[in-house]
Structure 1
Amino acid sequence: MGVDVELQPGREAVVRVPVATLWTAPDAVRPVDGRALADDPDVPAWLAGLDHDQQVGDCVLSQLLLGERVLVTERTPDGWVRVVVRDQPAAKLDPRGYPGWLPAAQLTAATPAAGPSAAPLVVDATVTPLHAAPHGPVALPGIVLGTRLPAAGRAVDGWRPVHVPGRAEPLWVAEGDLVPLPAERPEAKEVLAVADRLRGLPYIWGGLSSHGIDCSGLVHLAWRRFGVSLPRDADDQAEATSPLALGDERPGDLYFFARPGRRIHHVGIVTAEPHGDRRRMLHACYRQRLVVEEQLPADRLATLVGAHRV
């Protein structure tokens, strides 16, 4: 698929692929990243090809989900665009959204909604495919948890038609894999339950999908599933949430970590009320390269700088 001629600086665009990866710069990508850079990226195959060290390569900034909005700020002749990601706040980097680079072919021009829209639907399955017709062939695999899909009509025989960016005709998704975007703020325990479904997922620096994720991505994605927009990075998440006295935290609250004199570098979701110095959390663990639920070991406790509530 060629680059949309409307993807020019100053214009808004939307992600047309299930998961797009946001990069620090076009020349920062590695030979192993080819599958993530394709016009139609295969993110699971890309992640499966990364070794232990490549999982934490800092060339990756974040990821975007199908339909996510960006503002184009720069375009190169060789098919890259610099963008700010509207739905991923990053106040320290850019007040408009998270900045970074994407292959232009993974975007399509934003189009205005036609008429009044129904309440948005959000993917509640960990991963689900979109089909060309009810019970028909898969047209777009790998749609992940938290993806918003505008309804294109009523359900038919357990299948729901949805609008998909860059496609003229609706695609179909199993109705049970969707839920309405909640009108009310969720309980923290509900958010924790969604995050807990990602236990065992690979840790990927900059990951923000149910194929692979990092610590702040886990927090951001779990709340996004309920329509709550938290910042993308852990230090910004700390500033956007309310501090608690240690000992007052409850399941669903957040623990933040920093080394002396350094900014916050890690976040986890509280999974149990504290008992003395014993504390538990669910987090995407850099050391284990997995999403795990565990009691905080002594060295982790030594860098705990606070508990916060969303």
Structure 2
Amino acid sequence: MELQPGREAVVRVPVATLWTSPEAVRPVDRPALATDPDVPAWIAGMDRDQQVGDCVLSQLLLGERVLVTELRPDGWAQVVAVEQPAPKLDPRGYPGWLPAAQLAAAPAEPGSGTPAVLVVDAIVTALHAAPGGAPVLPGIVLGTRLTGAGRAEDGWQPVYAPGRPDPLWAPEADLVPLPTERPEAKEVLAVADRLRGLVYIWGGLSSHGIDCSGLVHLAWRRFGVTVPRDADDQAATTTPLAPGDEHPGDLYFFARPGRRIHHVGIVSTEPHGDDRRMLHACYVQRRVVEEPPSADRVATLVGAHRL
């Protein structure tokens, strides 16, 4: 099936980047625009200023669903990322642009029986043509959901990948079943903490590079829980706490007077008076770090919330 406006499609590459417009991309973005994008090379090629270019909106993971709203003759698709809530932008999901070649038509609904849904628990893994064989899709990231294609064999799990008729194989140890119960906040914190040291990328939503709200979104996605993509929407859909009532795994939100929320961090330790610590993707340090809030952060802290 071909892509069609008004119909859903799925991401066929390990990580697809969502752009503000086709005209906004820069020469440095070329590796991320390829039919088979090289996201690590893209990130490695950027300087500090390019890492925070606002032409990037978000990223989508292998198998993630989108609604196609426009197809351009030059190969660009306008889409709505329906698995990334963005109420202030579009009630259907996060809108943006990406190369149409990075999408595949949505597969038909499964027949009888419910195939197992598996989640990548490794920071990065690869899908192989055969057990122990050559990698076919490298760079599959934490939180990616895959459909099982049968029983594991000798430590390798067959899975389906969008746009490919035959199963591929992932190391069984890199996958876990999609959880059926809501996780405790400290479990989500533990996943986010595994990304400590990861490079900050504006709009990043993968274990190749990530931003502050992306870290929150991805950590909860690992457990099958969908939260909004942006920090202000995350604040609007979580429960405010009284000062001092926060626990590890809760969220700190930050905003300047009269402005909307611009930053989020994950509470990393029990607070003791004014002594707080958080794990966050830091715009200033360009890394995911665990630290006490800086003086500027303290001055702009507007509250702690619980998901």
Please report the TM-score for the alignment, with normalisation by the length of structure 1. 0.98
For 2:110 and 2:177, locate their aligned partners in 1 and report how far apart those are by CA, in whole Å.
20
Give structure 2 stretches of 5+ with no counterpart. none
> 1:84 — aligned with what?
80
> 1:104 — aligned with what?
100
Q: Structure 1 residue 75: deviation in Å?
A: 1.1
User: Is 1:171 the counterpart of 2:149 in the alignment?
Assistant: no
Do the aligned partners of 1:159 and 1:173 also contact (CA within 8 Å) in 2? yes
For 1:144 and 1:307, locate their aligned partners in 2 and report how far apart those are by CA, in whole Å.
29
Letter in 2 for 1:113: E
> 1:14 — aligned with what?
10
Give structure 1 stretches of 5+ with no counterpart. none
> 1:241 — aligned with what?
238
> 1:256 — aligned with what?
253
> 1:129 — aligned with what?
126
Which of these residues, 35, 52, 56, is aligned with residue 48 of structure 2?
52
For 1:168 and 1:301, locate their aligned partners in 2 and report how far apart those are by CA, in whole Å.
52
For 1:135 and 1:119, locate their aligned partners in 2 and report how far apart those are by CA, in whole Å.
22
> 1:70 — aligned with what?
66
> 2:153 — aligned with what?
156
For 1:89 and 1:247, locate their aligned partners in 2 and report how far apart those are by CA, in whole Å.
29
User: Is 1:222 the counterpart of 2:219 in the alignment?
Assistant: yes
For 1:297 and 1:217, locate their aligned partners in 2 and report how far apart those are by CA, in whole Å.
21
Q: Structure 1 residue 134: deviation in Å?
A: 0.4
For 2:4 and 2:126, locate their aligned partners in 1 and report how far apart those are by CA, in whole Å.
30
> 1:142 — aligned with what?
139
Do the aligned partners of 1:284 and 1:291 also contact (CA within 8 Å) in 2? yes
> 1:61 — aligned with what?
57
> 2:34 — aligned with what?
38
For 2:294 and 2:282, locate their aligned partners in 1 and report how far apart those are by CA, in whole Å.
12
For 1:48 and 1:70, locate their aligned partners in 2 and report how far apart those are by CA, in whole Å.
27
Superposition map of 1:275-286 within 5 A: 275-286=272-283
Secondary structure at the counterpart of residue 28 of structure 2 = helix
Secondary structure at the counterpart of residue 302 of structure 1 = helix
Do the aligned partners of 1:278 and 1:296 also contact (CA within 8 Å) in 2? no
For 1:137 and 1:102, locate their aligned partners in 2 and report how far apart those are by CA, in whole Å.
28
For 1:254 and 1:112, locate their aligned partners in 2 and report how far apart those are by CA, in whole Å.
38
> 2:184 — aligned with what?
187
Fraction of identical pairs, as percent? 80
Q: Structure 1 residue 297: deviation in Å?
A: 1.7
For 1:143 and 1:76, locate their aligned partners in 2 and report how far apart those are by CA, in whole Å.
28
For 2:295 and 2:37, locate their aligned partners in 1 and report how far apart those are by CA, in whole Å.
41
> 2:306 — aligned with what?
309
Letter in 2 for 1:87: E
Give the number of aligned pairs: 306
For 1:106 and 1:61, locate their aligned partners in 2 and report how far apart those are by CA, in whole Å.
16
Please report the TM-score for the alignment, with normalisation by the length of structure 2. 0.99
Letter in 1 for 2:30: G
Q: Structure 1 residue 293: deviation in Å?
A: 0.2
For 1:34 and 1:261, locate their aligned partners in 2 and report how far apart those are by CA, in whole Å.
38
Do the aligned partners of 2:212 and 2:263 also contact (CA within 8 Å) in 1? yes
For 2:86 and 2:200, locate their aligned partners in 1 and report how far apart those are by CA, in whole Å.
21
For 2:6 and 2:227, locate their aligned partners in 1 and report how far apart those are by CA, in whole Å.
24
Secondary structure at the counterpart of residue 232 of structure 1 = coil
Which of these residues, 259, 280, 284, is aligned with residue 287 of structure 1?
284
Once the two structures are superposed, residues 211-264 of structure 1 have per-residue CA deviations (whole angstroms, 9 ceiling, x without a partner) of 000000000000000000000000000011111011000000000000000000
Q: Structure 1 residue 114: deviation in Å?
A: 2.7
Letter in 2 for 1:234: A
Do the aligned partners of 2:115 and 2:149 also contact (CA within 8 Å) in 1? no
Q: Structure 1 residue 118: deviation in Å?
A: 2.8
User: Is 1:297 the counterpart of 2:297 in the alignment?
Assistant: no
Do the aligned partners of 1:21 and 1:64 also contact (CA within 8 Å) in 2? yes
> 1:231 — aligned with what?
228
For 2:77 and 2:9, locate their aligned partners in 1 and report how far apart those are by CA, in whole Å.
11
For 1:8 and 1:62, locate their aligned partners in 2 and report how far apart those are by CA, in whole Å.
22
Q: Structure 1 residue 158: deviation in Å?
A: 0.5
For 2:242 and 2:140, locate their aligned partners in 1 and report how far apart those are by CA, in whole Å.
39
